[in-house]
Structure 1
Amino acid sequence: MPEPLNVDEFEAAARARLTEPVYDYYAGGAEDEVTVRENRAAFQRIGLRYRVLVDVSERDTTSSILGTPLSFPVILAPTALHRMAHAEGEAATARAAAAAGVLMTLSSISSTPMEDVAAAAPGGAKWFQLYHYSNREISEELISRAHVAGYEAIVLTADAPLLGRRERDLRHPFAIPDGIEAVHFKIRPRTSGVNDSPLSDFLNQPSINWTDLEWVHAASPLPVLVKGIVRADDAKRALDEGCAGIWVSNHGGRQLDTSIPTASALPEIVAAAEGRVPVIVDGGIRRGTDILKALAMGATAAAIGRPQLWGLAVGGQVGVEKVLELLREELSLAMALAGCRTIGEIDASLIA
């Protein structure tokens, strides 16, 4: 098979290597998967008003977020169970992120202990994603472990009081392969497409509310970002609660189907943030032009979820590095063609 030229070709190559249930677990969304498709389509519908006659012979893609330097403004979003894609799992992903100069967000549903992931890439920047659990001892332990292991922030997922109905997982049904587990819970889920697994006992927390965010703030010595925001009023409330950042996300279309695509939600969240904290956006980002559009609409960084898994499945650490380098090169070229020499020159005037 020839070397993939873009993220879609990495996905096709990954699909050929993964079992159908594992591929569908990674790729699938809720119900009719309208939001999965719309996340991508919303970015594609945005037109770019490029500048001309700008000397772009030298370009600088570097940026930073919460004091962490980035080789380009991309973050690896939290995604579950990387060892289903490659034997080295999250450790390989962490090494790739460090080599590429980007930040990795480790999922609570990791198949590699957070300490091992940190040790695999000691120089890499890492955040830890947290689901909040009714048993606060679990949350407190995970926050403490992340702090001790050198993670630099906690990302609280706020859009998953219950798991969405993921029909691909129900159809097969999906089961985690032998020898792999959600190591932070020391249990092995039966399925993830319906709320009947031991892990869902932890993830299904319909009572989660703003007081739980207050508790996470109090329990965490690290900055806390909130992930899953698509409304300005929720963004303002999160800021009032002292959050260090807003992550615009609809969980990759895996929760409430027909929810607003993130590209459509982003402008009002940026306006609500008023420059007080960084704003991250994920969902459907597959091209350097998508990153350019996200930045032009005011995002501090774009986050990618599934693309890192496709790279991991195709080539382990090297595969993830190739995906990241591909996106960096695409962004650099898009900047040149749009008349931007630095990330700071990307602004709202580019958006049609």
Structure 2
Amino acid sequence: MGDGGGLATAPDPAAVGRGAAQACCLDDYERFAADVLPTPVRDFVAGGSGTETTLRDNRAALDSVHLTPRVMAGVEAADPSTRLVNTAAAMPVAVAPMAYQRLLHPDGELMLARAAASAGIPYVISTLSSYPLEEIAGAAPTWFQLYWLRDRAVVESLAERAAAAGCSALMVTVDVPVMGRRLRDVRNAFALPADVVAANLATKVHQAHTAVPGLSAVAAHTASAFSPTVSWADLEWLGARSDLPLVVKGILDPRDARRAVEVGATGIVVSNHGGRQLDGAVPSVDALPAVVDAVGNSAQLLLDSGIRSGTDVLRALALGASGVLVGRPLLWALSLGACDQALDLLRTEVSDAMMLAGCADVAAAARLDTRRACG
């Protein structure tokens, strides 16, 4: 893929094949992806901000949630199907918005979106996708994720393009006034290769492709393109100009959740951006119960950050979420050309977890009791 942080050489097909064939859980894809990806790309995907405290704590917090299964429920087969926002979903999962997926595989977003379509779940297109949103929307049921840009006309244009392309929801990410300082990228002087671009933006920002020692070129790109002053008034302005359901991503405080509902949000994603923004922020799963209490049935809640298994999906449902967003594990699978396999595996895990907990459907999962581990 040329200079910068991209793939300097094609991955070894044997290593790709071994990884795809041997994966037994979502975490396995990360381990096998390490054999096919260069270190800067691995670090770009895996890394968090600062000392990566929140990145680690997301997993620890999820692991501390213990479920109390029900028995003798008379369930022959669990049905994990549901609706997320306004979209039918074969399981309570959507593919999280993730930038520059051509870093992982030449087919990038197109491959992962097609896998989502095959799995029967929504795919969220990133503003910073490396294929145009219109091409991706043609491959799968999609939502569009919007970063607030300095040029409001471009914001409005992206929302209009998303609607015209058939996206069924607009997800606005609100936790990136500036990009968190991601030290792995700084140490690697991470930059995008020339053939991986922000395909939805008419003006390609050259900073993203220029490696500078001690700096992240992607962070420089973000600083030049994103507006740090996005406000609730901006969301109201957008809601008045788009007929798509509005989903607000990046909420942790229940006061912000209530405000999001007031400005018209149909959905809220409880998220700390996978530990990539404020280091030391509360783990998303720890923030979820208070947001559930604050919002009630006023908006649908999704949990993001750290989801790695069907058990994690069940934990989210039991704590009051309607579903989850899954991110990094699917990028690792993408690097191996194994997106379909990874989503099939996740569906199996979700169904198995529901059966073991005595849950015939997602409504039963929402009634499970939970306990937090001591210590």
Tell me the TM-score range normalised by the shorter chain. Answer: over 0.9
What does the per-residue CA deviation read over 1:283-339, in whole Å, with 9 as the maximum and x for residues that have no partner? 111011000000011101111111110111111xxx111111111111111111111
- Structure 1 partner of 2:182: 166
Contact 1:158/1:228 (CA < 8 Å) preserved in 2?
A: yes
TM-score (norm 1): 0.95
Q: 1:14, CA displacement in angstroms?
A: 1.3
Alignment of 1:28-43 (within 5 A): 28-43=47-62
Q: What is the CA–CA distance in structure 2 between the aligned matches of 1:184 and 1:16, rounded to whole Å?
A: 31
55-64 or 4-13: which moved more?
A: 55-64
What's the CA shift string for 1:84-120, capped at 9, x where partnerless?
100011111110000000000010010000011122x
Query: Match for residue 13 of structure 1?
Result: 32
Alpha-carbon offset, residue 138 of structure 1 = 0.9
Quote the Cα distance in structure 2 between the aligned partners of 1:177 and 1:43.
35
Q: CA deviation at 1:196?
A: 6.0
Does 1:152 pair with 2:171?
A: no
Q: Could you tell me which of 334, 349, 364 is aligned with 1:345?
A: 364
Q: Please state if 1:336 is matched with 2:355.
A: yes
CA distance in 1, matches of 2:366, 2:157: 41
| SS of residue in 1 equivalent to 2:191 | coil
Q: Distance in 2 between matches of 1:250 and 1:65?
A: 20
Aligned pair 1:238/2:238, yes or no? no
The percent of aligned pairs where both chains have the same amino acid is 41
Correspondence 1:300 to 2:322: yes
| In structure 2, distance between residues paired with 1:42 and 1:179 | 38
Aligned to 1:281: 303
SS at match of 1:219: coil
User: Equivalent residue of 1:323, what SS?
Assistant: helix
Instruction: Describe the SS at the equivalent of 2:244.
Output: coil
| One-letter amino acid matched to 2:296 | E
Give matches, 1:1-352, under 5 Å.
1=18, 2-119=21-138, 121=139, 124-185=140-201, 186-187=203-204, 188=206, 189=208, 190=210, 193=216, 197-203=220-226, 205-315=227-337, 319-352=338-371
CA distance in 2, matches of 1:239, 1:196: 30
Bigger mean CA offset, 275-284 vs 185-194: 185-194
How far residue 41 of structure 1 moved from its aligned partner, in angstroms, is: 1.1
Pairwise CA RMSD: 1.5
- 2:366 aligned partner, one-letter code: D
Secondary structure in structure 2 of the residue aligned to 1:141:
helix
C-alpha contact (below 8 Å) 1:166/1:194 kept by paired residues: no
Q: How far apart are 1:125 and its partner, in Å?
A: 1.6
CA shift at 1:68, angstroms? 1.4
- The CA deviation string for residues 173-193 of structure 1, in whole angstroms up to 9 with x for no partner, is 111123111112241413683
CA distance in 1, matches of 2:233, 2:34: 41
Q: Does the CA-based 8 Å contact 2:92-2:322 persist in structure 1?
A: yes
- Classify the secondary structure of the residue corresponding to 2:194: coil
Change (3 A) 1:148 1:264: same
Partners of 1:90 and 1:198 in 2: how far apart? 20
Task: Please report the TM-score for the alignment, with normalisation by the length of structure 2.
Answer: 0.89
In structure 1, the partner of 2:6 is none
Give ranges in structure 2 of 5+ residues lacking alignment. 1-17
Give structure 1 stretches of 5+ with no counterpart. none
| Structure 2: distance between partners of 1:13 and 1:301 | 27
